[in-house]
Structure 1
Amino acid sequence: MYLLFPGRHHLLTQFQYDYLLSLIEKYGEDTIEGIIFAVTSANHSGTKRNPVPFYLRAMMIQDFCENIPVKTYVFGIDDVGNLEDFASYTLKQINHQSEHKLVLNSSNTLLICSTPVMEMYQKIEFEVLTAELEDKNYQSYKTALPWEMVEKIAENPDWQQSSNIKSLIHASTYKIWTTYSLDEKVRNILNDPIIGEDGDITESRDYNSYVRQMDEIAEIKYKETAEFIRPGIIGDIGCAVGSWIKQASEDPHLRESDFYGIEVTRQLYDICQQRKNNREFGNPYVFFAQKNAVTSHVFEKESMNTIHTSSLTHEIESYGNRQDLLKFISNRYEELGSGGIWINRDVIGPENGEQIVLMQLTKEDGRNEDYEENYNDNKELANYLDGLSTFTLFKRFCSDFRRSENDMIYYEEVLIEGKTYFRLALKDAAEFMLTKDYKDNWNSEMHERFCFWSFSEWKKTLEANGFHIKEASHAYTNPWIASNRFEDKVQLFNLQMEPLAHPPTNVLLLATKI
């Protein structure tokens, strides 16, 4: 007979250890052929649901089992999304990973489980040993569950001095957590205000289209930044799928450099690792880490020659808050060595953004009614929005934009000499102009504010943090965007009806540490 013990196993308790020993005593060492730990979400780490990587969980379990007098096995079970028959999937994975030596079923295996996961196994007739669970109807437990202990450690920086915590966790957990400083890592992850449960900033992004976009513009981004890169130790924060690092790693000027890609989003980090395994980078000294650079340092202080970021700082402002962005800026200053440079490329707001302007939008490029439909599928929504005129798309934009953040755009529709204009702040007009064409990820983009700072505001903030701003730094209007997205669609006027230039679309900030 086998004992199957599924779970994420970020932490093991003394209760679990004593419970296993009691089962061995009850059924006998000769009866129990082995205890199988099925470590679920083994392919996830650095996320709120799964902060601890699988290899550390596996090490913890092996140490935990050192004095258990029966065979023990550890198998990593990947997360595969919402799978109704995940129990059968787990059993098949164990069968496959054990080279078909462990064929578990309801006739030869008992399940150890105290959570609703047991219901999946009960459907396939497994008998359940309920461990911590005291009363299923009232969901009452004999002791704290492992995840509750994880949260207690995250909440208590002095947990090592707490007898209430130390007495409940097993010595193997204490050893691994203290050796690898997991308390600090988990605390940062669980308290992070930006990333979601599974390690993503936004849950509504289509990664297929996102990855394509990153690769398509990588060469343009690199050419814009290449001449300013200082060789040595080079970091790319928010590296997405590693496209900028790939370009840099192939540059002969940087052949002696080391490259470090930092990506918080699990899906993108996985792609970076796969590309490295595929040897797609021109330099072997390319390393990736899944970290969040907002709330903490990701490089040693004064260690970096170049830090690069692209299309990242506006996401910090959008999904976090202003203090998060200011902390991000100060962290980068501290990580740069003397003479180091932070190259920040992003969207930008116009100067005098509070100026009230008139915006005229064409009605000739789509329909001018029926703009309030909603779709769960991103592609269906994109097709629907693509059929709207620019005039009507603006109304949909104002309806959706940052509604959940209570940071919406306000406008007045006015009629001047028989023509309709929208009267609003210049920065809000620019917000629409810069965002309106990102229909593939509309629900995601509706959370993001592009135009919160102008170039002069960025310069002032960076200088206040100790940076020197190189003269080559500048805001600009991308000519392709102006030609293809602004012309014949949007025209801005001041209140005297004098035409205004298109707002800037991007900024290149070159911030050096003297």
Structure 2
Amino acid sequence: MPQEEDIRTNYSRMILLFPGRHQLLTNFQFQYIADLLSKGEPTKDIDGNIVQTSGVIDALVFAVTSANHSNTRRNPLPFYLRALAIQEFADRFHIPAYIYGIDDVGNLGSFASYTIKRIRHESEGMFDLTPANTLVLCSTPVLEMYKTLGFTILPAELTDRTTWKHSTRLPWDIVETIAGDDRWETNLEVHQYMHSSSFDVWKKYKLASKVQLLFKDRMISEDGDITGTRDYNTYVRQMDTIAELKYTETASYIRPGRIGDIGCAVGSWIKLACRDERLRESDFYGIEVARHLFDICQQRKHNGEFKNPFVFFSQRNAVTGLVFDKESMNTIHTSSLTHEIESYGSRQDLLAFIKNRFEELTHGGVWINRDVVGPENKYTRVLMHLAKNDGIHSDVDKTFSTREELAHHLNGLSTYGRFLRFAKDFRKHEGYTLEYRMRELEGKELVELSLSDACEFMSRKDYTDNWESEMHETFTFWSIEEWKGELEKAGFIVRPESQAYTNAWIVDNRLVGKAELFEEESGALKRLPYPVTNMIVIAEKQ
């Protein structure tokens, strides 16, 4: 067996590089590598050339890609569990094996080159992989990047490079089989293809139930996010800017003990709660499904930004199940989350979310829910007067290839022009049609529409940076009285402090002089007050 210094300095032999996400390993992969290392016949590369591998491979290097991702459909397993299975798998060969995690860097055309450089860096120079000293084992389109760099590719399962036909099932096929079978441990197909090293890890750490939950989730993308059209730089700035307001509104309702913030974004609310002397003995649990935001939470914790050391973050989806143990939490906080469940999921998802929070609270515990809300009389027809002198109202339907170009165009539209664009875009992908008509009364050009649609526009008209994302969302689906009714059905007592209110800042900075509401009374216009925009609901489990 070669020593590390031999591998570092002597390239008379070869390294076998095996890149992949490696969520599980297969019996085929094991036998293929075993055959490469045996004294049998030479193998063929991707071009049909004979490659001598017997007795010339010194080490096996696993490059585990997307190592910084976990708890998503595309990458359900964390790196350390993948590495455990790989190590047990590789220990059965007679050559040393090395495992290196390669972080996801997006859709990078030079990802193969990046992987090679990462391995050199992580191995402290022990592995400087080149086409002269390395064979690459790969059967997916990723091989083209290594081929471009001049590496010899061993095809493994791949039989036809033009159609990407394979001779056997790939590892991800088995992941999908497990995801759809609650009795996966006795599934003959799983046993036929899945190597025992992966089977043991999946069984020991109960990974199948997690994967099954992830695959059942309709809201979250395969990379663990609700929407792919959100600009997180803008979003993070917004979260930090309003954190003080959110905490001030909710602080007096917090019960000390185990405190959870679901949809914690970048951890701003928890950061402020950690400074509250009343909560110095409390433990804090932040739950965030979006990978990008979860990573920021972890980095903030590493930076020491939380005064209380008992702060824990998890990347989980609270819609599809419990994220805390039953009857374990004294306080659960959510902010600007429940409307996203209704928007990107379904009404049943929202009702399940409410039920799950009730299950998680201890008796006397509270769920503090701060979010947008609809008016009580949302189906009433109203008349809306919109400013036309604050921009243009031509080319409102113009399309753009980038978010930035669209935002620039929207910022140049008048309030009236922006409404015309809103009416076209609002929840069109969900099949919604915003019905309105133009009217003239008392010398004013007015838009007649439902109060609900008017509220949707007024609340969203200035969100130009994330316009495409915002157009999927609905704010007015329930009034606060409807919220109270659904919470009481789930078993909650709604505290009298719960209220809907009109955000004065929004009125003063976004609505006055831009949009006004009227009703018609005896042929004349009667000015209406600006409707409610937000709510805070305190739901107690008794």
- Range class of TM-score, shorter chain: over 0.9
Q: Which residue of 1 aligns with 2:492?
A: 467
One-letter amino acid of the structure 1 residue matched with residue 528 of structure 2: L
Give the CA deviation at 1:112: 0.6
Q: 1:29: Cα distance to partner?
A: 6.7
Structure-2 residue corresponding to 1:202: 227
Once residues 395 and 141 of structure 2 are traced to their aligned partners in structure 1, the CA distance between those partners, rounded to angstroms, is 44
TM-fit CA distance, 1:139: 2.3
Instruction: Tell me the equivalent position of 1:503.
Output: 531
Is the contact made by 1:238 and 1:264 (CA closer than 8 Å) also made in structure 2? yes
Q: Deviations over 1:325-368 (max 9, x none)?
A: 00000000000000000000000101111111111111121112
TM-score (norm 2): 0.93
CA contact (8 A) 1:29 1:69 kept: no
Asked whether 1:483 is paired with 2:496, we answer no
1:16: which partner in 2?
Answer: 29
3-state SS in 2 of match to 1:482: helix
Any idea what the Cα deviations from partners look like across 1:385-431, whole Å, max 9, x if unmatched? 11111111100001111111112311111122432111111111000
The count of aligned residue pairs is 514
Which of 234, 238, 244 does residue 219 from structure 1 map onto?
244
Q: Which residue pairs with 1:321 in the alignment?
A: 346
Alpha-carbon distance between aligned partners in 2 of 1:346 and 1:373, rounded to the nearest angstrom: 32
1:22-421 counterparts in 2 under 5 A?
Answer: 22-25=35-38, 26=40, 30-421=55-446
**Structure 1 residues without counterparts, runs of 5 or longer:** none
Contact 2:91 2:97 in 1 (8 A): no
One-letter amino acid of the structure 2 residue matched with residue 291 of structure 1:
R
Aligned to 1:183, what secondary structure does the other structure show? helix
* Alpha-carbon distance, 1:137 to partner: 2.8
For the pair 1:423 / 2:476, whether they are aligned, the reply is: no
Counterpart CA distance in 1 for 2:418 and 2:159 is 56
Q: Determine if the alignment matches structure 1 residue 436 to structure 2 residue 458.
A: no
> Following TM superposition, by how much is the alpha carbon of 1:285 offset from its aligned partner in structure 2, in angstroms?
0.1
1:348·1:505 contact (CA, 8 Å) conserved in 2? Answer: yes
SS, match of residue 60 in structure 1: helix
AA aligned to 1:460 is G
Aligned equivalents of 1:302 and 1:417: distance in 2? 59
> For the residues of structure 1 that align with 2:255 and 2:403, how far apart are their CA atoms?
40
Secondary structure of the residue that 2:383 maps to in structure 1? strand
Give the SS at the match of 1:508: strand
Secondary structure, counterpart of 2:340 in structure 1: helix
Q: Give the 3-state SS of the residue equivalent to 1:156 in structure 2.
A: coil
Q: CA deviation at 1:68?
A: 1.1
Shift of 1:490: 1.1
User: Is the aligned partner of 1:456 residue 2:469?
Assistant: no
Aligned alpha-carbon RMSD (Å) = 1.1
User: How many Å apart are 1:378 and its aligned residue?
Assistant: 2.4
1:88-129 Cα shifts (integer Å, max 9, x gaps): 111111111110111111111111111111111111111111
Runs of 4+ displaced beyond 4 Å: 26-30
SS of equivalent residue, structure 2 residue 527: coil
Counterparts of 2:306 and 2:333, CA distance in 1: 17
C-alpha deviation, 1:284, in angstroms: 0.1
- Inter-partner Cα distance in structure 1 for 2:111 and 2:260: 39
User: What residue in structure 1 maps to residue 17 of structure 2?
Assistant: 4
Whole-angstrom CA distance in 2 between matches of 1:57 and 1:401: 42
Within the alignment, does 1:493 sit opposite 2:518 as a pair?
yes
Distance 1:500 1:417 in 2: 16
- Please say if residues 237 and 309 of structure 1, whose CA atoms lie closer than 8 Å, have aligned partners that are also in contact: yes
Answer with 226-235 or 420-429: which moved more. Answer: 420-429
Answer whether contact 1:356 1:495 (CA < 8 A) is retained: no
Separation in 2, partners of 1:125, 1:29: 21
Residue type at the aligned position of 2:86: I
Does the CA contact (< 8 Å) of 2:20 and 2:65 recur in 1? yes
Q: Secondary structure at the match of 2:453?
A: helix
Tell me the secondary structure at the aligned position of residue 137 of structure 1.
coil
In structure 1, the partner of 2:47 is none
Residue 29 of structure 1 contacts residue 70 of structure 1 at CA under 8 Å; is this kept in 2? no
Matched residues in 1 for 2:118 and 2:54: separation? 26
